[in-house]
Structure 1
């Protein structure tokens, strides 16, 4: 990629906070039978969330009491920055080590999308396997390579690196595909590439605007 292309990509990353217009037309979620995962647009990236009971044991053990546990992939130095500054944003598009952020939630985030999935894909099924395979193995902390622990949040070393060919949103799309959803990960760079596909899935709905913050 040329220097001009890298700079354009850097400027485009914050723009992923803009949701596709189709999201405004989604129905509000009501009580629904069957398992589902939650998809969160966190602005510059996307995350997926599941209750601990639907996660493989090593991941369920991170926050066993949480209502939902959200997972997000990203550039390691960016993910660990309390408030990313110009240096983190400018370095963001370049390849580097990646981290997985795991966050405990006490409920459903505002405007998260609910995506129905087959029970067989969860737990130790294909989605659970794909999630677990995203983590680098470690000697402690449930067999995962813990980088840093914060209240309600943990950072782990990822099994593969970050690049513009494999961003946080590419990872999310891959997890949705592992969940058996007809989502394409190839070519996805910004959050709109995930949210736009998810908005067209059968049975999708959107949580109420008055959501919750991550659990302390």
Structure 2
């Protein structure tokens, strides 16, 4: 009897539709989201940008950020600059060549795996919005503020920008409605848990 059941199960199994393959796993590309004060950055590992539109920046680890131009260029931003930020305005992309994987002032960091080609997609997202040329290279510890074609607004902040870049890279993260660091990091912790299978 057990033999007949085994033969029947094998025969029926041969007629069944094979299960769908599991979703394609994320590749080996990684990014770290770092947070400090109200701000978040994307941190790419050294050498990750070779062959991308940001390759001229060199092989050092790189932090990519976004912000209101008047705030980012102010020598010592004050309360007046903070109030002006509520109205939005022209923005810049902040590029920093790092000595380590994240900026020295990072208060919170979260590594995420990207789909294959994710870093190239982030590089393209950044390069496509730049309104001025890239510097030839950034020495370690060096930084540059480059005008962005995207505007800073109460509904599109540095944290929204980080989420948009990650969505462009293929991660299933929310963009709309993300304005504050806490909102961004909570959504990214949920994505990290999903990646870990939790």
User: Normalised by the shorter chain, which TM-score bucket?
Assistant: 0.7 to 0.9
Of 163, 170, 173, 1:183 maps to 173
Normalised to the residue count of structure 1, the TM-score between the two structures is 0.67
* 1:170–1:189 contact (8 Å) kept in structure 2: yes
Of 27, 45, 56, 2:39 maps to 45
Say if 2:81 is the partner of 1:88. Answer: yes
Whole-angstrom distance in 2 between the partners of 1:166 and 1:86 = 20
Post-superposition CA distance 1:123-174 (Å, at most 9, x none): 2xx3332122221244x735xxxxxx99511110001211112111111110
* 1:39–1:113 contact (8 Å) kept in structure 2: yes
Q: How many residues align?
A: 161
Task: Give the match for residue 152 of structure 2.
Answer: 162
Q: Which runs of 4+ in 1 moved over 3 A?
A: none
Whole-angstrom distance in 1 between the partners of 2:183 and 2:130 = 23
C-alpha change, 1:150 and 1:91, in structure 2 (3 Å) is: farther
Say if 2:90 is the partner of 1:100. Answer: no
Whole-angstrom distance in 2 between the partners of 1:169 and 1:122 = 18
Unaligned runs of 5+ in 2: 1-26
| More contact order relative to length (CA 8 Å, sep ≥ 6) | 1
Task: Give the match for residue 131 of structure 2.
Answer: 136
Whole-angstrom distance in 1 between the partners of 2:140 and 2:93 = 13
C-alpha change, 1:150 and 1:90, in structure 2 (3 Å) is: farther
Between 1:102-111 and 1:187-196, the stretch displaced more is: 102-111
CA RMSD of aligned residues (A): 2.3
Task: Give the match for residue 112 of structure 2.
Answer: 115
Kindly state the Cα deviation for residue 36 of structure 1 after the two structures are TM-superposed.
Answer: 0.3
Whole-angstrom distance in 1 between the partners of 2:124 and 2:80 = 35
* 1:52–1:59 contact (8 Å) kept in structure 2: no
Bigger Cα Rg:
2
Task: Give the match for residue 76 of structure 1.
Answer: 69
* 2:96–2:141 contact (8 Å) kept in structure 1: no
2:190 aligned counterpart, secondary structure: coil
